[in-house]
Amino acid sequence: MHISEGILPAQLCISGYGLTSLITWYSLRQINRLQNPQASIPKASLLTAAFFVASSIHIPIPPASVHLVLNGLLGTVLGYYAFPAILIGLFFQGIMFGHGGLTTLGINALIMGIPAILAYQIFQLRHILAKGIRENLSMRIFGFIAGATAIGVSSLIFFSLIITNLPSGFDNSLEQTAIYGLMIAHIPLMGIEGILTAMVISFLHRVMPELLPS
């Protein structure tokens, strides 16, 4: 899910930094509107660490191996804190593990951060669409949808950028076949991340509901 350095053109990387700066500013603005913006910083720090570690947990799904992303989980639990949390996690992944890179940091933040905010919005729809349904059940349902949708949207953005910006020295037909195979491998990951998000949301609702966004 990380785009490495040297694949995308420079103008696209610069545009990625510009859009990431804008969304980070907007997210921080939304956070500052909260009654106590500092209250969720420990929770955001913990989930940033979980996001940082998740890329090292690989799941063999033929014909490839994929890793957890957890951007849907961050979105549902953190709300607008999710975007800066993902940006920080990606920065440390890039400099410590070599996942992605600094030139593609902005693009990678968009790939994973925008779906995280979308996951938060989907999770909040339960207040409108799940009236009359038992609260814990509605949280599990919308938690699953949010987690699965986040990884699905991230995958679509990632593969669209890769396919449309293959370097000229590559064998396009061979590379596209490999990319499509990798994309198919991410379909089961949507279910895995959806289930994981639903389980975490359900657990938090039972033991520490104050950790969930209101």
Q: Which of 46, 114, 57, 111 is nearest to 80 (CA)?
A: 114
Residue 170 has a pLDDT of 60
Q: What count of other Cβ atoms lies within 10 Å of the Cβ of residue 63?
A: 11
Residues 6 or more apart whose CB falls under 8 angstroms from that of 213 comprise 76, 77, 78, 79, 120, 123, 124
User: Domain boundaries in the chain?
Assistant: 10-211
Residue 130 has a pLDDT of 75
Torsion of CA 150, 17, 51, 24, to 10 degrees: -80
Residue 112 has a pLDDT of 96
Q: pLDDT below 70 — which residues of the chain?
A: 63-65, 167-172, 174-176, 214
Distance (Å, whole) CA 188 – CA 177: 19
Q: Which of 190, 205, 175 is nearest to 7 (CA)?
A: 175
Residue 64 has a pLDDT of 66
pLDDT digits (tens, 9 = 90+) for 1-36: 788 888 889 999 999 999 999 999 999 999 999 988
Residues 6 or more apart whose CB falls under 8 angstroms from that of 43 comprise 77, 78, 81, 211
Is residue 7 within 8 Å of 162, Cβ to Cβ?
A: yes
Domain 10-211, CATH: 1.10.1760.20
Is residue 7 within 8 Å of 167, Cβ to Cβ?
A: yes
Query: Mapping DSSP to helix (H, G, I), strand (E, B) and coil, where does residue 66 land?
Result: strand
Q: Which of 144, 153, 57, 147 is nearest to 112 (CA)?
A: 153
pLDDT digits (tens, 9 = 90+) for 46-69: 999 999 988 777 777 776 667 889
